[in-house]
Structure 1
């Protein structure tokens, strides 16, 4: 990964802000720093049709098979989630052992909500609906920013970082590029590539070219600019901090002695996992492995997998995507167990939205709303399916339209908020991290009881 001038400017601005604000007595959102915690958000871009990721295996299967028609999965192909009336898509078989160990949970029909909605309220009160439902960009931003009725300019991970203790290397790391979830008001994340190391654009310490030498000499002089005034000094310290962060991260992500790499292999063939989601989770595992070197009591990661906008040929697309995802998540879990951190790390899926229950004419599905999600970690309550599978009557009380666009029964805040609480975000700072927290924390609503 080579930082462009624009990328470096953005990083530099954030690092400078961190340096300037480090002296301000902001409150600590992390309530308990005595034990390590990490949360790993896995965003499935495009709108994952998780109605084919988690499928009922009881009497509800008949309606599922009838309504999903050309894209319905065969019941005997499903991976049973023992003790429940659900099964996983066959391609997610690598997660069967994780479930059996009690380290995999399912959250049913979660999505963006401004307040609890019935179908009557949905139809008669458009002012209570999330803005621009079923739009990729808007729903991605609402999942990451947690504001459903106004523009999102920052994200919940960045806001968690805002209230955390300062660290030389940011404990918020993206291996999926710049994302809204990472943006806070006072601190910046560390953005890593999924392959290769980080290089300074145009920098070559061994160069003999006069122009390159002159440019590098000027940058080196500027990086120690105490004699040029407060503003210049602040900027130069920010630049030096950014260079130092890159150097530290490079040592970790390019190391040849990591102990976690061995777990990122196909358990059947022994081949190294090469999908992009596998590479991202491997880098997250390496950063977790180096937590003591980095001085991190908490870490947050954002990784992603694309390709879920399945308007056509969904069955074949899912077979590939789910296989890569399941292998990567299972490998990551094994790596955490090997580090003795399976109880300290929680990974969880997010996505734009669910998809229409009835398929379109291209053996695919169109944009919808409520969706199912997976959570992985040994701190979870063992082998739980949380929430309620919707009444799948087309045009019925839970269908926003007439073709199976289910109104969510669990708000994003209730889902992600449960993980944030486990992570250690304090009660006083939860309303800062989740601006609509008051709506979902009282009156019979509250965080999903994910953890045992």
Structure 2
């Protein structure tokens, strides 16, 4: 085997990366000393731009009539909505989340998006705007990093984690820049049944390669670069040995394990990539909460939300997967006694246009509605301001007739959304300011959707 091929294999073995240099095993011990109790933040990124306007819909007669008149054939039937009180309803595909609302564990947050400063329609030509609005990759970066610049290197998840002394962010799906900080990137973890250890690459007849890797990682080097390399590899090997067995387990037939029961043994509605990611997160939360981890940050992902066409077929299927996975995950946190210690929240590239396009779909927009779930959530009510459902109105960026499509100017910023979560996570005002420097541009730094 050529040296460069060996090193390439070693870099992939068990997720051996620079992110692992800080050592999850060591961080579990450090967090136990630095933070009393256990808490976990779980980011659920909906890649492609979820149509928030068909996710959370007004139920009152006046606004539903406005909605239905514009949405036309894309409108969700009023009678099918999952009631969130008398004013709003969820798409029927999210029916599994109805009991969470009733239990006070679900809070919709309206019209959040990237902002540099608070904006009104009158400000659009005079105040600073975020970079490259309506672009998938750029808006993903702005959501992941919080701020106005697409050149940001670090994500707000990584920065919050660093301020809290949590290293690294754990990624079961694509992390983008969300989990990056000045000290490393997110640590990518495998799905149920997969190996998170060098045995997956160096087992069996390749055991001698594993032995060589161990020797390289644990040798005493005088060269600083080699010292760093050895530290990274040793930490990753130790981490994989610790978490590998946790990650590899899958539901057994007739299992009575609390997490397996919550996820229906990953069958039926939970036999999906997103549910499997959250199944892994639930196992890691149980492990972390019982082994002295003070705080953890996770990120999972679901793709497919770029519904420019055939939205009536595609979007309900995506939401059905989302609703089943989120409900199962919350149920798992209840069963393992960690519901109040875990807060999940959605993010997405952007919202979609209120006005449908000619392909039975919707196009790229700006502000969007999101869901926050957990036992610590001040649920059973909504937060933020729902936009005025008028094309070309005060919340629509469009001025000329051709651009009046219902691209809502966000009422709250990503920083405000993140700061609310950071406060619950246990960060001080100074730590929140350090992790979210743009927050100083906004008068309100807590949107209130989590209990004091």
Give TM-score scaled by structure 1 length: 0.88
Look up the SS of the partner of 2:143 in the other structure.
Answer: helix
1:429 partner SS: helix
Structure 2 match to 1:204:
202
Asked if the contact 1:146/1:435 (under 8 Å) is kept, the reply is no
Q: Give the equivalent residue in structure 1 for 2:384.
A: 387
Describe the shift of the 1:15–1:199 C-alpha distance in structure 2 as closer, same or farther (beyond 3 A): closer
* 1:68 and 1:358 in contact (8 A); partners too: yes
Q: Does the 8 A contact of 1:32 with 1:424 survive in 2?
A: no
Look up the SS of the partner of 1:131 in the other structure.
coil
Q: How does 1:217-256 map to 2 (within 5 A)?
A: 217-226=211-220, 228-255=222-249
The alpha-carbon deviation at position 255 of structure 1 amounts to 2.8
The alpha-carbon deviation at position 231 of structure 1 amounts to 3.9
Distance 1:53 1:71, change over 3 A: same
| Structure 2 residue 96 is the aligned partner of structure 1 residue 98 | no
| Aligned residue among 51, 57, 60 for 2:59 | 57
Q: Which runs of 5+ in 2 are unaligned?
A: 1-7, 399-403
For the 8 Å contact 2:274–2:322, the answer to whether it is kept is: yes
Report if the CA contact (8 A) 1:109-1:408 is conserved.
yes
Q: Which residue of 2 aligns with 1:374?
A: 371
Q: Distance in 2 between matches of 1:193 and 1:128?
A: 41
The 2-side partners of 1:378 and 1:13 are apart by 34
The partner residue of 1:78 within 81, 100, 115 is: 81
Show the counterpart of 1:396.
393
For residues 32 and 419 of structure 2, the distance between their equivalents in structure 1, rounded to whole angstroms, comes to: 14
SS in structure 2 at match of 1:151: coil
Separation of aligned partners in 2, 1:418 and 1:32: 21
For the structure 1 residues 233 and 250, does the alpha-carbon distance in structure 2 shift closer, same or farther, using more than 3 Å as the test? same
Residue pairs, 1:3-402, within 5 angstroms: 4=9, 7=12, 11-16=16-21, 18=22, 33-58=35-60, 59-82=62-85, 84-122=86-124, 124-125=125-126, 128-149=128-149, 151-165=151-165, 170=167, 172-195=169-192, 196-200=194-198, 203-207=201-205, 212=206, 215-226=209-220, 228-255=222-249, 259-265=258-264, 271=268, 273-292=270-289, 294-401=291-398, 402=404
Match of residue 25 from structure 1: none
CA distance change for structure 1 residues 50 and 244 in 2, over 3 Å: closer, same or farther?
same
Note the residue ranges of structure 1 that are not aligned, 5 or more in a row.
Answer: 23-27
Q: Is this contact kept in 2: 1:266–1:327, CA < 8 A?
A: no
Deviation of 1:428 after TM superposition, in Å, equals 1.0
**In 1: Cα distance, 2:320 partner to 2:150 partner:** 36
Greater share of helix: 2
1:266 is displaced (CA, Å) by: 9.1
Q: Aligned-pair distance for 1:85?
A: 0.1
